[in-house]
Structure 1
């Protein structure tokens, strides 16, 4: 179920946001449970609110079943996330920034990307020259931008999808 801080005063803006994100998570969970049933796959749905967005995860004892939902390098996961966001949008009328993880794929990817961002930041600090990284998905770029900011440097995205990439800049 949803974890996080809840306010005792429902009229507060923060509480309204949390309630909206919890609603997004509930809609997404219902949608994903339906998909799991259709695909005849086992999985449990875990919901949370992280960094001002609903986060929904599908977890299962059978990693092999979930791998089908992740696809090669997360391509199926990305498509399922977009479909889930559309389902939430259809119900609420609001654009969703919901994040979907399946079998811990995004969590593992986030750790690898944070390390990549930290290494690129160190390279820029040492050389004083900008570093261009390989093209990435929006999720991947966001993780790298966050890691670079945590290292005290600036970064920006350049190029057009699907060849958009991060450039790490000297301080």
Structure 2
């Protein structure tokens, strides 16, 4: 269920003086993504999708989008539930749309990279491999990855008309950092269990918060995301 889209790119002399973030932002505009223009204080930074389109369905409180849709499906006129085969076909289509978008983005920005497509659970999964320059720009916090993921989700949504939960990775970044995040969360869980007091972790991006929420849930504890923007973090509470 996985396929590879090779991409071999040649540099463009007329764009040589642009920084890579500027090239990537310009590439997003040319590829048709709905990107907001950055203000003076954001100059040189890749624009990010508006709040609310992100992956912060990581919070364990309240019904998820899938749960809400399942609830709606109980109505008399609700559409019949999709089979697993139909859902996989939709996710594969998301992956193909995302791969085409990312290939065009890399081509415009004169960046190397191969696109791998897969289906992971109930999400399309896309990884950019062999993208050395992108991987360096993505360190150490994965902020470039988060921005590209949102742009790619918007491109998929624009094509399909449905909100995408597609997961993007660059050079195995998510897999490499998941283990250390799980250990950090486990240490916090042990502290909460021992002292009976909530523990607030450092600010994290949506992917990192999701990993922490999963560890807390498996340990039988309650966790919540608090704060706004770059200060958003997870607080782990004792079991109710």
- CA–CA separation in structure 2 for the residues paired with 1:162 and 1:103: 24
> Is it true that 1:18 corresponds to 2:88 in the alignment?
yes
> Of 178, 198, 203, which residue of structure 2 is paired with 1:130?
198
The TM-score normalised by the length of structure 2 is 0.62
TM-aligned CA deviation for residue 64 of structure 1:
3.1
> Of 36, 42, 51, which residue of structure 1 is paired with 2:121?
51
Would the aligned equivalents of 1:136 and 1:162 in 2 still touch at CA under 8 Å?
yes
Structure 1: tracts of 5 or more residues without a match: 4-10
- CA–CA separation in structure 1 for the residues paired with 2:183 and 2:117: 26
- CA–CA separation in structure 1 for the residues paired with 2:233 and 2:195: 20
Matched length = 162
TM-aligned CA deviation for residue 109 of structure 1:
2.0
The alignment partner of 1:48 has SS state of: strand
Which runs of structure 2 are paired with 1:100-139 in the superposition (5 Å)?
A: 100-139=168-207
> Of 108, 120, 134, which residue of structure 2 is paired with 1:38?
108
- CA–CA separation in structure 2 for the residues paired with 1:74 and 1:118: 22
The alignment partner of 2:192 has SS state of: helix
Would the aligned equivalents of 1:85 and 1:96 in 2 still touch at CA under 8 Å?
yes
Query: What value does the CA root-mean-square deviation take over the aligned residues?
Result: 2.0
2:223 aligned partner: 155
TM-aligned CA deviation for residue 15 of structure 1:
1.8
The alignment partner of 1:168 has SS state of: strand
TM-aligned CA deviation for residue 81 of structure 1:
0.8
The alignment partner of 2:168 has SS state of: strand
Would the aligned equivalents of 1:2 and 1:22 in 2 still touch at CA under 8 Å?
no
Any idea what the Cα deviations from partners look like across 1:12-59, whole Å, max 9, x if unmatched? 522222111111111001111112222222221111222311110011
The TM-score normalised by the length of structure 1 is 0.85
Distance 1:156 1:49, change over 3 A: same
